[in-house]
Structure formats: C-alpha cells, structure tokens
Structure 1
Amino acid sequence: MGTTLHFTTARDLFDAYEAAQSDIRARPDAEAPLEFLARLAESATPEEAITFGAYLLPRRKAVWWGHECLMSLDHLLTDQDRRMLRLAEIWVAEPEEEHRRQALDEAMVCPNKSPGVWIALAAGWSGGSMTDAGSPTVPPPPFLAPRAVNAGILGVLARVDNSFRRKTLSTFVDMGAALAVR
C-alpha cells in the first residue's frame, strides 16, 4: 500500500518538529511513522499516539481528523464546540485566508477553550498570520496547529466515560492512520 506521508521514519518527524520531542516521551527506533503510531497506541500512554498523529498529518488533514473525532462524539459537544467545528469544516473545504482568519478570530475570543475551539484554533494556526489584519505578519510557529489538534481530541476524549475511553482512543488513532495514507 502506497502512502503519502511526509516522513520516511518516525525519527524524521522528531527531527522536523523539535516540539514533538517535548510533547511525546516515547522515542522511535528506525520505525516507519505508522508503525510507531501503532506502538504508541498499544503503550502505557496511548494518548501519545494522538499527539504523534497530530504532528504526522499535514495541517488540513489534521484539522479534519480533529473535526471527525469530535463529531463522532456529538452527544458530548456543546453548542460552542459545534460552532467552532463548523468554522474548521468550512476552512478544510475551502482553505482560503478568509476562512482561516474567521476560525482564528472567533476561536480566540472564546473564553472557554473547549475541544471544538482547539480544532478551530488549529485551522487558524495552519498558516497565514496570527496577528490582526493590518498588523505586521507573524506566522504561527509550526507546533501550534498540531498542539491544538491534540488538545481538541484529548479534550473530547476526557469527556468519554472511562469504560469506553480506551476503545474511543483506539478508534481515533485508526481514523488518523487512515487519513495518513490517503
């Protein structure tokens, strides 16, 4: 099966993202990214598979992954989550500057950084500038979008009943792995 991954090995990802080295305690051998992802998912801290997946996927796919993970638990979402996810969805469908900016601006003013807000922030931090229009351009650091996707997915996972958490996490990892090879 051919993949469209940007990294030949999981170690390449760690080399590309210094922040991943502090966000993920486990270290890869010479494994392919999806092999490392699977190992993380079976580890004592399977949440690290979510973190790795957020770095592994290109920004747009990572935002979509976060969106789909959260929407699969719609019954656990607030109206604010749904509104923010809609903004992220619009940006994924049409990754234009105005959509990215709208997701960022609306997410930034939310007083409660709920899971949906984090996914909208990930869309907003996918590129462009973090500053207001008319201000000097300040591109977001490369780690912001993956960290926001991670926060959104792990945030909704925290809302899942303990008896379903491991299975839900596994489903989320499988969803990310499937997106990685598309």
Structure 2
Amino acid sequence: MANGLRFKTARDLFTFCPAIARDMKALPTDQSSIAFCRDLLAGRVPEEAITFCAYLLPERAAVWWAHECLSHLTDLLDAADQGLLAHVGDWVAEPDNPRHRAAVSTAAATPPTTPVGWIALAAGWRDNGSVTATTKVPTLQPFPAAHAVNAGILAGLARVALADRFAVLSAFVEMGIQMAEIEALRQSADAY
C-alpha cells in the first residue's frame, strides 16, 4: 500500500510542501512516508508524527482524521466545541451541501481558540479559499489547512492527562497512517 501514497518518501513530501519544515524540526529521509512517520512516533519528539500526518493526508482526509481524533476527546471539549465538531463531521460527509458549507464557513471566520476551532478553520480553508479573507487568522504559509489540522490535534492532545498522552498520541498517529493507506487505495482504484 505504501507505494500508492501520494508521497512515496518523506523527502517527496518535504519537497512538494516545504511549509512542513516550519512546523517540525525532523529532517526528511528517503524512507517510505509510513516508516518515517512511525520513526517520528518512536523518536525524541513524537508529536512530529502528528504534524507529518497532517501534511501527508489530502486536505479533506486530514480534516476527517482530525475530526475523528477530537471525537475521541469529547469529554475534554465544551458544549460549543462538541457542536462545532458535529458541523465539521457533517461537512466532511457532504462538503457540497450548502448548509454544511455555511456552518463551517461561519465557524472558520472566527479566531481559533480551541482544538475544534482549528479544525473548523482547516475545513473552511480547504472548502473555500475566500474564508482566508474573512478570518482573523492570517495565512502565513501555502498549506494552511494542514497547519490548522496539526494545531487542532496537538491542542486537543495537550488536554489529555500526561499519563495517557503518549497512548492517545500513538492511537492518533496510527489512525492517520491507516487513513493515508486508505487514501492510497482509493487513489489507485480511481486510476483504473
């Protein structure tokens, strides 16, 4: 499955998307993307595996992955964030639905102050580049959705008890890897 990934190696991703180097310190290698990601998880700064997945996944898949990660943390989210998370989930399921697009665009137009706020911003940026013009958060790099997904998941992870954090981080990364493999299969199937 790794051969069907949009970025076969870590270096391929860093070359295509140099903005990732602003969000992580690890240097790319010629390892497969999946192996590189797992090495990051086992390394000195395992959170960089989250960052790598955020950029590795296509934007809509990355938003879905973030939604799924934060769905596992609902007991750490307030009611407003839980409602916003539902809007993001609706948008991912039906991104062309005008009602879902409007809800995400409205949410994305406010500064992200919570983990789900970042994910809504990622969805809004991915869905409609004009959200960038209405948001109070400047687009500082060419891949803002990946940056926002990364920020949202890491902000959610920061709410997890320290004793549980690595286990949750590992589960999130494995979910991201599985999503990348599924996307690779989907792209291979679409090619036929």
TM-score, L = length of structure 1: 0.88
Distance 2:140 2:21 in 1: 19
More helix as a share of residues: 2
Query: Equivalent residues in 2 for 1:151-170 (5 A)?
Result: 151-170=151-170
| Alignment-derived partner of residue 103 in structure 2 | 102
| Cα distance, 1:26 vs structure 2 | 0.5
| Cα distance, 1:3 vs structure 2 | 5.7
| Cα distance, 1:101 vs structure 2 | 4.4
| Cα distance, 1:95 vs structure 2 | 1.5
The runs of 5 or more residues in structure 1 that have no matched partner are 134-138
The runs of 5 or more residues in structure 2 that have no matched partner are 134-138, 183-192
* Greater displacement, 94-103 / 154-163: 94-103
Work out whether residues 3 and 181 of structure 1, in 8 Å CA contact, stay in contact via their aligned partners in 2: no
Q: 1:132 to 1:58 in 2, by over 3 A?
A: closer
Work out whether residues 59 and 145 of structure 2, in 8 Å CA contact, stay in contact via their aligned partners in 1: yes
* Greater displacement, 82-91 / 2-11: 2-11
| Cα distance, 1:141 vs structure 2 | 5.8
| Cα distance, 1:81 vs structure 2 | 1.3
| Alignment-derived partner of residue 136 in structure 1 | none
Distance 1:62 1:132 in 2: 18
Work out whether residues 130 and 140 of structure 1, in 8 Å CA contact, stay in contact via their aligned partners in 2: no
| Alignment-derived partner of residue 78 in structure 1 | 78
Work out whether residues 127 and 140 of structure 1, in 8 Å CA contact, stay in contact via their aligned partners in 2: no
* 1:65 correspondence with 2:90: no
Count, aligned residues: 176
| Alignment-derived partner of residue 42 in structure 1 | 42
Secondary structure in structure 2 of the residue aligned to 1:8? coil
Paired amino acid for 1:74: T
| Alignment-derived partner of residue 27 in structure 1 | 27
Distance 1:4 1:92 in 2: 23
* Greater displacement, 87-96 / 2-11: 2-11
Deviations 1:120-145 (A, max 9, x none): 11111114322599xxxxx9964110
Work out whether residues 80 and 116 of structure 1, in 8 Å CA contact, stay in contact via their aligned partners in 2: no
| Alignment-derived partner of residue 125 in structure 2 | 125
Work out whether residues 65 and 175 of structure 1, in 8 Å CA contact, stay in contact via their aligned partners in 2: yes
| Cα distance, 1:54 vs structure 2 | 0.2
| Alignment-derived partner of residue 9 in structure 2 | 9
Distance 2:101 2:12 in 1: 28
Paired amino acid for 1:108: A
Q: Name the % identity.
A: 46
